[in-house]
């Protein structure tokens, strides 16, 4: 084979990869616009966005919102010199407030081992960011400062409302949440006494 043809094939194949790496953002952005403009109702006649996603795209409610949240995270880090190329890189960022996402992402890019930004590395940076906010006491990346408790409870509730009634894992996972809430309530009561 001629080297020029092989090089042309490689460039074409790499173009396909680059185009599809960004697909999660484009899908999330499109879903966000369909939801926000209520096109699912006005044009297609669906009662809810979740019904539209399930019937038209075979997406669960939580999957559609994962894609939307990932698209929002990409938009929040858009001014950085490098942006996420995979949805898994954005997932940890969604645990932070929008104004904190760009800083955490930039740190992940600058400190990535061998220059390769992985979702696991982004998660470590997010965990470190949260720990700094809580005085180094965070054991998991979802612990937030007390001053932000009201905002994060509202956010948590909005996320929980996305769980579909027919999700087979819903009761099991909600049971875990109830246990966690009971444990935290006991811990907070013991601190107050």
Q: How far from 138 is each of 47, 132, 143, 169, CA to CA, in Å?
A: 41, 8, 6, 27
Q: Which residue has the tokens 């955490």?
A: 104
Is pLDDT larger for residue 189 or for residue 104? 104
The pTM of the full predicted model, rounded to 2 decimals, is 0.62
Model pLDDT, residue 155? 64
| Nearest-angstrom CA–CA distance, 133 and 72 | 22
Predicted pLDDT at 57: 92
Per cent of the chain over pLDDT 90 is 33
In this prediction, residue 143 has a pLDDT band, given cuts at 50, 70 and 90, of: very low
For residue 170, the model assigns a pLDDT of 78
> For the segment 77-92, what is each residue's pLDDT rounded down to a tens digit?
988 888 898 899 999 9
Cα–Cα dist 47/40, whole Å: 8
User: What span, in angstroms and rounded, lies between the C-alpha atoms of 61 and 54?
Assistant: 7
Between CA 16 and CA 2 the distance in angstroms is 22
């Amino acid at each position: 084979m001629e080297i020029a043809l092989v090089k042309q094939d490689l460039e074409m194949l790499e173009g396909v990869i680059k185009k599809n790496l960004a697909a999660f953002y484009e899908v999330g952005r499109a879903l966000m616009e369909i939801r926000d403009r209520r096109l699912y109702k006005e044009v297609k006649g669906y009662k809810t966005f979740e019904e539209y996603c399930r019937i038209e795209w075979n997406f669960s409610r939580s999957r559609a919102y994962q894609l939307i949240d990932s698209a929002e995270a990409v938009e929040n880090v858009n001014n950085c010199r490098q942006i996420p190329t995979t949805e898994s890189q954005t997932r940890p960022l969604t645990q932070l407030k929008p104004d904190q996402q760009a800083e955490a992402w930039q740190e992940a890019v600058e400190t990535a081992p061998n220059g390769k930004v992985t979702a696991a590395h982004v998660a470590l940076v997010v965990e470190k960011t949260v720990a700094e906010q809580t005085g180094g006491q965070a054991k998991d990346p979802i612990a937030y400062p007390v001053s932000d408790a009201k905002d994060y409870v509202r956010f948590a509730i909005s996320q929980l409302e996305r769980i579909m009634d027919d999700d087979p894992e819903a009761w099991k996972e909600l049971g875990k949440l109830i246990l966690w809430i009971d444990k935290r309530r006991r811990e907070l009561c013991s601190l107050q006494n």
